[in-house]
Structure formats: C-alpha cells, structure tokens
Structure 1
Amino acid sequence: MNPSPSTIFGKAWLYCTVFLTGAAVMVIELLGTRLIAPFYGASLYVWTSLIAVTLIALALGYYLGGIWADRARSGLSLIIATAGLLTLIIPWLAGPVLLATDPFGLRLGSFISTLILFSPSLMMLGMVGPFAVKLSTSALANVGASTGSIYAVSTVGSVIGTLFLGFYLFPLIGSREIFMGLGIALLILAMVVAGIERKYLKSTTVMVPTTILMLMGFGLYPQIANSVQTEFSDIFQTRFERESLYGWVRVIDKPKENIRLLTADASTIGAASISHGENLLIYQKIVAQIPFLAPNIEKALLIGQGAGHMVMTLNKAGIVTDTLKIDPAIAEAANQYFRYIPTGQRIIGDARYEIRQLKGSYDLIILDVFTGGTEPTHLLTIEALAQLHGLLADHGILTLNFVSFLDNGQNAALASVSKTLAQVFPYQQVFISDPGENFNDFIFLATNHVINLNDDSIPFSNHTWLKQRLLDIDTTYGAILTDNLSNLELLQIRKSEHYRRMIVDSIGVNHFIR
C-alpha cells in the first residue's frame, strides 16, 4: 500500500494551501461588489446576489471536489491552476458580461452577471477542501479530525484574507489589479503544489496541464491589464478617476453640452457648467431660500457633500457649513474640479457614527444622500432622525432631499419618508423640484416650529417660485421606517432602475464598466 503523503512529509504544505485558497475565496467575494457596483450599484440586491452565488459555487465545489478526490490520488494543483486562470480573466470578462445582462434589470441582471463572473473560480476553490481532506486522512478513524482541521485552517485563511483586503490591500490597489494579482498568485501556488504532488505522490499526469494553464495565464496577463482604457472623445472626457473603499468616483465632461458631472458608481452627485462652474441641479436652488425661512442661521451641517455647491451657496449668506462625507475621493474631486472650498469642519466617515461624535447645535442640517441608485437607508429611520434632531437648535431646520416618483401623491416611499419624519419633528413641509414631472427631487423641511410661507415678514428672494413647489403628502400609503424594519430599498427599486437607466442613457453604458 502506498504511504499517505501526510506520513511522508507532514501536513504543513496542505494547511498552507487551504489557508491561501480560503483567503482567495473571501477576496473574490468582497471584490465582486466593487466590480459590479459601478454598473448596478452597491445595493442590497447586489450584495444578496454575490453572497448567494458564493454559497452556490462553494456547495457545487464541495460536492464535485469530493467526487474527484475519491477517484484520483492527485489533481489538487490542477484545481488551483484552473481557479487561478478563471480569477485572472474576471476583469477581462466583466465588460461583455455586464453589457449582456443589462437588459435583465437591476435584480436579475446583477444576479446573472455575478453568477457568470464569479461562480467558476469560486467553485474550483470550493473543490480544494474535500481534496485536501482526502490527502490528509490516513485512516478512517482520523477522518473527523482531518476534516475539522482542514476547514478550520481554511476559515482562518478567509478571516485573514478579509482583514488584509479591507484594512490594507484595497485602500492601496484597485480591484482589477487585485483580481489579476490573485489569479497569478493562485497559478504560482498551483505550480508549487504540482511539484509536491510529483515528488511525493509520484504523479506526473497533472504537471503538464497545470503548466499549460500557468503559461496561458502569464500570456494573457498583459492583454487583461490593458483591456480598460480611459475614454477621451468629443462627447465624453474623463477628467478624474479614483476607486475608493466606497465607490468608483469620476469627473466626466460633456464639452458639447458644457456639462461637468461628478459621479459615484452609477449615481450623479454633482453637475456644473464647464465654462463658469455654476450649479446645474435644480433642487439645490431651494437651498438658497432656506436662510430666509428662519432667523439667525449661522452654522450648518451638510451630510452628503456632493460637488460642494450647497456649501458655496450657504457661504454667500454668511453661513459656515461643516460637511460630513463617507468617501474622501469625492471631496478630492470636488476640490479639484468644482472649485469647492470648505467653510467649516470637513468630516470623513459614516454619518451614523460621526454624528454621535459631534457636539454643539446646528441652525441647519441638510441630509442629501438619497439621490442616486443606491441609498443609505440606515440614515432615514426614526433612530437616525432622532440623532439629527438632537444636534439641531430649537429654531433650526432639517432639510432632506429625496428622489422618487410622485405617482399622483400615492408613492409609498415618499409617504414613508413623510410619516417617519413626523415621528420626530412636529412640523414639515415638502417641495417638488420640477413641477409637472413624475420623477423628481422632493425636499422636506422638518422643524420644531411652524414656517408660514404666507408671512409677509419673511424676505424671500423668490417667494412665488418656492410656493409653486409646495406639496401635500398623503401618508396613508407609507410605513414608519426604523432600524429594525425599513423596506425603503424595496419601495425604491423602481426608482433605482429608472435612475440608473437615465444615467446610462445620458453618459453611456461603457462608462460604468471597470
């Protein structure tokens, strides 16, 4: 009987292999959202698709790996080499796959594209575990301990891979480069394992195909690395591009239309003229009216900085504005290409955490994070609004911008926002950005006191313009949004798909493919 490899040279190489492949699984899963998000957004549906596909692929890998392990003494290197090549070509296939799945819409499109792009490599990595168990088991009596040890080491590898990617690697290197680097690393690991199999298992059958796969990977690497080029044309010009922890931030010019856009993934969060830099977003013009609504507004907090136009508008009224933004790349783009100059404290971080650290009171708080395809729903709950209420002066105003459909006043998402605000603030008024359009920006003003737009003592700069946009919201169709239960993302799925289609039609689908 041939001796087990575990009795010849120990299990160290096997543990090292499952550790590294376990880390690779989590790297692919986490990076998957960064490859999909610029096209479909980083919504709950994208995360759900990726997690589901990962579990499906690993389940198939466990099953097929067990069958292969029972029928062959060697082949672990071939499995890893195949996983490496499939991982390496993911960035290469991303564009064609995303374009092909685009007609299926947000939910089905994100699931199918995720399934095509990531399940092959994840399935091959899932096959490593059962094969390693077979190699590490010298007797039936030891199968439990061997199985437990292999999967424990693999899980530790997944933990280390997650921490290394999130805390160190991803902030320094782009997602495409990490995918390609991981693919090459797996191919090199496969060759090392093939050498071990040849030496100790006397197996030469897998050396040739493993070598071929590695050569194919190294041969394709230059083409994959150069497969994405920044587009410059008479129609679109990409002026700024930065992949951050939270999204793919770009500044895109449309010279013929004299428009400069600030985008984060598939969301437009700022727009200005190229020639003069004036703000082109209509809803933000209402901000210019706010200083007339309450006396002695001196200090404001803006959550969701965008291109910084609202800060500049408030500055003209003598209002100092602290800004709170989760993505530093957006602040960098606003500074360089939209002439944004901070007037107050600039805070980088997640709003729910950072607002707990703030002290003092604000005369005005603007919550402007519900504009794009993906919405941070945790910022629009009773608990989140109560935190903001605690930062607001008695005479202050909370302003919230929300993009949705009017639907003749029967939109459940719009009604839910109004109903939730009413749980925290006794008074609110709602304005529509562009009367006559169903898809719109809706601006909520929530206060502790009544604002009477008919009060002649209020020196509006454009009284009629503001009153024409006043709305009455029927909250019958709405639900109260809480940290425990918020269905806002579900209520806004039609809005997300419509918004994304508008942006794609305006800029072109290729601008959202990494």
Structure 2
Amino acid sequence: MASLGVEFGASRLLAPYFGTSLYVWGVLIGLILIYLSAGYVIGGRLADRHPREEVLFQITAWAGLWIGVIPLVSYPILLVSQQGFKELSAGLVAGTLFAVVILFAAPVILLGCVSPFAIRLLLKDVETGGNTAGRVYALSTAGSILGTFLPVFWFIPSYGTRPTLEGFGLVLVGVSVMGLWPWPRRRFYAAFAAAVILAWIFLPSGIKPPQVGQLVYEKESAYGYIQVVQEGTRTELILNEGEAIHSIYDTSSLLTGGPWDYMVVANSFRPAQGSELRPKDVAILGLAGGTAARQYTAAFGRDVEITGVEIDPDILDVAHRYFHLNEPNVHPVVADARYWIDTTDAKYDVIVMDAYRQPYIPFHLTTREFFSEVRDHLRPGGVAVVNAGRTATDYRLVDAIASTMSAVYPSVFLVDVPAFNNTLVYGTTEPVTVVDVEHNLGLVSEPLAQTVAQSVLSDGRLRVSPYHDQVFTDDLAPVERLIDEIILSYVTGSQASAPGAGPP
C-alpha cells in the first residue's frame, strides 16, 4: 500500500514545479519500478542471511521515517528548480527533477524488500512455497489497491499531498514500532515517529511561492495545482508549473492585452458582411477564471449567452471568489471539454478552445477528430478559435494546431497576440479570405471589440495559415513531445521566450 501511496504522492509533489506530462510520469514510474526491483533482490538476500521478524520491522521503520521527511527535504530542492526556470538553466531544472525523484529511492527500495522478506519468514517447507508466495502477493496487491484509491479519492483531495506522505510515513513507523515492541531497541525506533511529526510541524506553510507578485490563494485540486497571485491591479490565475497566466482580472482596465481579448472578434472571420455581426451563443472550452467570458460580456452585453466548460470545480470556485465570474449570461459547466462536446446537442456561433494547461495540452483536444466534433456544433458560418502558445520565434505548436485544423475547416487564419507569447488560430466553416476578415473587422463598432479589431489589423499579423504539415489524430498526437522539444530549445537558450499565455 505504501509504495503506491508514495508514487502518487511523488507525482503530486512534482506537479507544481514540473507538471504532469507523459514524460514526467514516465520518469517517475520507470524509476519507481527500478527501485522496487532493487528492493526485491536486496530483500531476498537479506532475508536469507537474517530471517528474523525484527529485521523486517526495522526495514519498514526506516522506510516510514524516510517517507515522512521527504516533503520537508524536497522543498528547498524544488525551489531551486523554480530558479532554474528563471535562469533558463536546463541542467539545473533536470538536476533538481532527478534529485527529488532519487529522494524516493531509499523508501521504495526498502518497501521492495518487504515481499521477499515476508515470503522467507512465512515459508515453512518447500511443498507449500507456492501457496505462501501466492498469499503474500495477494495481500501485497490488495494493499496496492488501497494505496491507489485512498490517496486519490480521499487523502490528497481532503488533506493535500504533503500531509498524505507524512501520514503514510507515520502509520508505517507506528506499525513497525508495534512489531518491534518485544525487542530491546524499540525506543530508538519509536523516536522515528517523533521525527516524522517534527518534519510535519516544520513544513513550510505554502506549497510554492509565486514567481512574481503576492500570493493570494493556493490549493491542490484533483486536477492540479492552483495559484492566485496579485500583481499591482491585476489578479492572475496560475496553474501547475506556473509558466503561464490562465486568467486575468484587472480592476483598472477591461482589456488585458492577452489572448482573451482577441477571442471577441472571432465572429469577424466570415465572408464579408453588410453590417457588424454580434454573436448570440458562445461556448468556451476551458473557462478557467472566466476572462474570455467577461470580455465577451463587456463587448456585446448580456444578450450573448455563454456556456463555459471547466473540468476542475475548484477552478470555478476560484473564478467566483477572485475573478468576479458572476455575469448572469455565463453558464459554467463542470465537465471534460471532449466529453461535453460529444454529449451536447447545442450549436454556437463561436466555440473557443482554451482548455490547455500551458505549456502542456491534453492530446485529445488537439486532434482532427476533436476539431471535427467542434465543427459539428457550430452554426452555419460559425468560427472555432484556439489559443496556442509559442515562443518569439518557435511556432511549431501553432504549426501543429493549424495544420490539424486545416484538415477540418475550409479556411484557417492566424493572429499573433502582440503582448503575449500566444497565437490565436481561427477555423471557419465557410471559405473566407483575408480581405473578408479585414472588411468585417472594420465594421466592428462596440468600443472594446473595436479596439481589439484595430489591434488585429495593425499589430496582430493577420494572415492565412501557411501550415499544412502533420495532422494530429486520436491515434497519433505527439503534442507533449513537441512541447518538450520547444521547452528544451527555450531553456538551452536557443529561443527568446517560453511558450504559453505570458508576457515576453
């Protein structure tokens, strides 16, 4: 049970600093398996040399102590990784990742010793060896099931990652001390429990300090790490690694300068119109703090009905508390964006796709099949909008998104966000030209939308997408590998700025 609990705890401990990408999980699971394999070998040899219950409980006591101090010991190492991102040091970032993962080597190796040791102690004769091993592995698997379900569905959502690890360590030490009670050194191992409790007491109060501004709120949700930061008059929503801004609420200005502003002119990406078109229904996949919904309401009033889909209910709570998501025309829905698109019958004038946890993107929201489902929920002439991160010179992610959308939509356009490292990708359901879009942008009269339209024409590098490369599918969408390559180029200094919704 403890080994699976440690694995989930390790992934959550790393998430605010390194994210939860396929590659982070791959490194973590691979090394955990290596540690367990080493523990099986060491435990088997140790059991043959010292087949005593006392030794087994000493092993589990040391494992519990190590698990209990990991949250305290790992904290300063993880802070170094944050500094590595600031200094664009690939070696520093990679080094701290492996340093933290290696911290888990000792307890997992020790826990790996338990099964072969238990089999050796329970084995009375060779004839019943198979039965003995089967019972031990059955009990171990049952413990692993508990070690999976309890942290995921109870401990981590209710108490947090670090208290969960502390709790696992304390329980393991407690069980070990009870097993060691008949032996003379029980007081020494009982002190381990005090050490774990002290490590718990001295844990820093915060999970992660903000890179800029003042921390207002933070929480570990079931889907990731949430941080609300105050910087001047702006309240910003930061998620996971903190390398991008996901929502902004500015008390001094309606316009944010971010990609959310440029979503409000999506209705202009249609054949040339005789007058300004106002959207009636908008769906936003990835509502987050509700910045895009607020911009649409500010531009077109409460007559535009907005459905905002957000997978994380804790983010919606943050949106209501800190980002003033209280417009009566905005209807939040808690669901996965792909599932919601698959199950709704509604159709919209505009569908905005901002469900990405920059810099990483759920692969199933980047595929031809997904964009086809989005198209099927657009009214005739409707427009799909995707917010794609990039660097100042590296447009590979924009290329991938635009190339895939080009396989679904007759026309695909790009607009760069001047103040942020983002490009908006617009897919139309009818053939449209740049001249059409420029004409329609000139018709925009609503003050906020008009300001954005002028920015698109003067600073946004409005253009037809030139990309027609690999089309991502549900079967093959290597988006995480692509983003990691972009990040590697960034941290090694070959790129000027990082991908994501953040200013350069």
Give the alignment of 1:248-267 within 5 angstroms: 248-255=225-232, 258-267=233-242
CA-to-partner distance for each residue in 1:391-443, whole Å, 9 max, x for gaps? Answer: 22222110001001363xx74432221111112112111111128xxx82111
Please give the alpha-carbon distance, in whole angstroms, between the structure 1 residues aligned to 2:196 and 2:115: 28
Q: Does residue 240 of structure 1 match 2:242?
A: no
Quote how far apart the aligned CAs of 1:281 are. 4.1
Give the alignment of 1:146-185 within 5 angstroms: 146-185=132-171
Judging changes above 3 Å, is the alpha-carbon distance between structure 1 residues 214 and 379 closer, same or farther for their aligned structure 2 residues?
Answer: farther
Q: Does residue 308 of structure 1 match 2:290?
A: yes
Q: Does residue 466 of structure 1 match 2:456?
A: yes
SS in 1 for 2:355: strand
Judging changes above 3 Å, is the alpha-carbon distance between structure 1 residues 261 and 248 closer, same or farther for their aligned structure 2 residues?
Answer: same
Quote how far apart the aligned CAs of 1:279 are. 4.7
Please give the alpha-carbon distance, in whole angstroms, between the structure 1 residues aligned to 2:323 and 2:62: 47
Contact 1:371 1:402 (8 Å CA) reproduced: no
> What letter matches 1:66 in structure 2?
G
Please give the alpha-carbon distance, in whole angstroms, between the structure 1 residues aligned to 2:247 and 2:220: 17
Q: Unaligned stretches of 5+ in structure 1?
A: 1-22, 199-203, 508-514
Quote how far apart the aligned CAs of 1:166 are. 1.8
CA-to-partner distance for each residue in 1:110-132, whole Å, 9 max, x for gaps? Answer: 65134322221111111100100
Equivalent residue for 1:381, pick from 367, 373, 378: 367
SS in 2 for 1:252: strand
CA-to-partner distance for each residue in 1:347-390, whole Å, 9 max, x for gaps? Answer: 11222222222122111110013361322122111122122122
Please give the alpha-carbon distance, in whole angstroms, between the structure 2 residues aligned to 1:357 and 1:482: 20
Equivalent residue for 1:66, pick from 30, 35, 44: 44
SS in 2 for 1:369: coil
> What letter matches 2:410 in structure 1?
P
Quote how far apart the aligned CAs of 1:339 are. 1.4
Please give the alpha-carbon distance, in whole angstroms, between the structure 1 residues aligned to 2:499 and 2:249: 16
CA-to-partner distance for each residue in 1:178-218, whole Å, 9 max, x for gaps? Answer: 111111000111122224xx4xxxxx3xx51x542331332
Contact 2:361 2:480 (8 Å CA) reproduced: yes
Contact 2:487 2:498 (8 Å CA) reproduced: no
Equivalent residue for 2:12, pick from 18, 23, 34: 34
SS in 2 for 1:370: coil
Please give the alpha-carbon distance, in whole angstroms, between the structure 2 residues aligned to 1:261 and 1:62: 48
TM-score of the superposed pair, with normalisation by structure 1: 0.83
Please give the alpha-carbon distance, in whole angstroms, between the structure 1 residues aligned to 2:379 and 2:432: 15
Judging changes above 3 Å, is the alpha-carbon distance between structure 1 residues 392 and 269 closer, same or farther for their aligned structure 2 residues?
Answer: same
Judging changes above 3 Å, is the alpha-carbon distance between structure 1 residues 322 and 457 closer, same or farther for their aligned structure 2 residues?
Answer: closer
CA-to-partner distance for each residue in 1:156-177, whole Å, 9 max, x for gaps? Answer: 2111221222223322111111
Q: Identify the residue that residue 217 of structure 1 maps to in structure 2.
A: 193
Please give the alpha-carbon distance, in whole angstroms, between the structure 1 residues aligned to 2:93 and 2:131: 41
Judging changes above 3 Å, is the alpha-carbon distance between structure 1 residues 361 and 232 closer, same or farther for their aligned structure 2 residues?
Answer: closer
CA-to-partner distance for each residue in 1:36-94, whole Å, 9 max, x for gaps? Answer: 01011111121111101110110111011011100112211001101100110111012
* CA RMSD in angstroms, aligned pairs only: 2.9
Contact 1:49 1:110 (8 Å CA) reproduced: no
CA-to-partner distance for each residue in 1:456-488, whole Å, 9 max, x for gaps? Answer: 465132554323421344325x31111111111
Contact 2:44 2:117 (8 Å CA) reproduced: yes
Q: Identify the residue that residue 408 of structure 2 maps to in structure 1.
A: 424
Q: Does residue 95 of structure 1 match 2:80?
A: no
Judging changes above 3 Å, is the alpha-carbon distance between structure 1 residues 156 and 232 closer, same or farther for their aligned structure 2 residues?
Answer: closer
Please give the alpha-carbon distance, in whole angstroms, between the structure 1 residues aligned to 2:440 and 2:76: 60
Please give the alpha-carbon distance, in whole angstroms, between the structure 2 residues aligned to 1:107 and 1:353: 35
Judging changes above 3 Å, is the alpha-carbon distance between structure 1 residues 106 and 292 closer, same or farther for their aligned structure 2 residues?
Answer: farther
Judging changes above 3 Å, is the alpha-carbon distance between structure 1 residues 465 and 100 closer, same or farther for their aligned structure 2 residues?
Answer: closer
> What letter matches 1:97 in structure 2?
I
Q: Does residue 78 of structure 1 match 2:58?
A: yes
> What letter matches 2:455 in structure 1?
W
Work out the percentage of aligned pairs sharing the same amino acid.
24
Please give the alpha-carbon distance, in whole angstroms, between the structure 2 residues aligned to 1:39 and 1:485: 27
**What is the total number of aligned residue pairs between the two structures?**
465
Judging changes above 3 Å, is the alpha-carbon distance between structure 1 residues 406 and 386 closer, same or farther for their aligned structure 2 residues?
Answer: farther
SS in 1 for 2:129: helix
Quote how far apart the aligned CAs of 1:245 are. 0.6
> What letter matches 1:92 in structure 2?
L
Between 371-380 and 35-44, the greater mean CA deviation after superposition: 371-380
Please give the alpha-carbon distance, in whole angstroms, between the structure 2 residues aligned to 1:494 and 1:27: 31
Q: Identify the residue that residue 282 of structure 1 maps to in structure 2.
A: 258
SS in 2 for 1:89: helix
Please give the alpha-carbon distance, in whole angstroms, between the structure 2 residues aligned to 1:106 and 1:393: 50
Quote how far apart the aligned CAs of 1:319 are. 1.6
TM-score of the superposed pair, with normalisation by structure 2: 0.85
SS in 1 for 2:219: strand
Q: Does residue 53 of structure 1 match 2:28?
A: no
SS in 2 for 1:345: strand
Q: Identify the residue that residue 443 of structure 1 maps to in structure 2.
A: 424
Equivalent residue for 1:485, pick from 476, 479, 500: 476
> What letter matches 1:341 in structure 2?
N
> What letter matches 2:224 in structure 1?
G
Please give the alpha-carbon distance, in whole angstroms, between the structure 2 residues aligned to 1:417 and 1:269: 19
Contact 1:90 1:117 (8 Å CA) reproduced: yes
Please give the alpha-carbon distance, in whole angstroms, between the structure 2 residues aligned to 1:177 and 1:496: 32
Contact 1:77 1:193 (8 Å CA) reproduced: yes
